[in-house]
Amino acid sequence: MPQRFELLVFDWDGTLMDSAASIVASLQWAAGDLGLPVPSEAQARHIIGLGLQEAIAEIMPDLPLADYPKLIDRYRFHYLARDHEIALFAGVAEGIPALAAAGFTLAVATGKSRRGLDRALVHSGLGPCFQATRCADESFSKPHPAMLEALMTELGIAPSATLMIGDTTHDLAMARNAGVQSLAVAYGAHEKEVLVPFEPLLCAERFPEVTRWLHENG
């Protein structure tokens, strides 16, 4: 049976790696270091998936632009101190190589920085599985379609043959803006009830559901 999708584009944090708690804590600690209002867990989870500049603008709209670098530096200090301890979600270490072996072309579109993603690809051991990647500091942030459009152009794959897999409304909105279908995971940063209105083909509770669906329907 011919494949329905050729290109699978994965978000990273909250989709493949269980990093939401570390992102939230690092942002809260960074704000505390600088004497800024500390965002709640719900506020911090909402901006996961955005680039750091866009995340700060949304969560701290009154912060002067000149103070962004200090907050970003403190966030990265806390996050990079523990990022090597963050685990992949159950089933990802086996599932991603299996999807690559099945003939899918795999890529990553993430709100992480290039430095952060490169570290994660090495620490996770999944780097060789992905043929292309895009990060927020190389493009417009989600939900702008630029990252998906760049990946499809680089790999020569049409929107109709591309599927975006992510855990946030930012991922699903990016897919919609790029004319790409999506698949949601409800175990990451955003709750299922806010993902379903974007009409993903599946809203998975665990990563093995993603791989099973793709092998059967992808």
Show which residues are catalytic. 11, 13
Distance CA 107, CA 87 (A): 19
For residue 179, the model assigns a pLDDT of 97
For residue 1, the model assigns a pLDDT of 45
What are the DSSP E strand ranges found in the chain?
7-10, 105-110, 132-135, 162-166, 181-185, 203-204
For residue 51, the model assigns a pLDDT of 81
Six-digit token pair at 208? Answer: 């093995």
Q: Are residues 69 and 119 in the same domain?
A: no
Q: Are residues 194 and 207 in the same domain?
A: yes
Mean pLDDT, 10 residues at a time, over the chain (218 residues)?
Answer: 84 92 90 93 86 88 92 90 85 97 96 90 95 93 95 97 96 97 94 95 96 91
Sheet bearing 7-10, strands edge to edge: 132-135, 105-110, 7-10, 162-166, 181-185, 203-204
Six-digit token pair at 155? Answer: 């790999």
Assign residue 54 the CATH number of its domain. Answer: 1.10.150
For residue 201, the model assigns a pLDDT of 96
Amino acid at position 43, single letter: Q
Q: Are residues 108 and 212 in the same domain?
A: yes
Specify the 3-state DSSP secondary structure of 28: helix
> Could you tell me if 60 and 68 are in contact, meaning their C-beta atoms sit under 8 angstroms apart?
no
**Boundaries of domain holding 112:** 7-19+87-217
Instruction: Tell me, yes or no, whether 1 lies in a domain.
Output: no
Q: Are residues 63 and 106 in the same domain?
A: no
pLDDT single digits (tens) 3-52: 789 999 999 999 999 988 888 899 999 999 999 999 999 898 888 888 88
Q: Are residues 160 and 57 in the same domain?
A: no
Q: Which residues contact 152 (CB under 8 A, 6 or more apart)?
A: 7, 158, 159, 162, 178, 180
For residue 173, the model assigns a pLDDT of 97
For residue 22, the model assigns a pLDDT of 87
Specify the number of domains making up the chain: 2
Instruction: Tell me, yes or no, whether 2 lies in a domain.
Output: no
Please name the residue that has the structure tokens 């698949």.
183
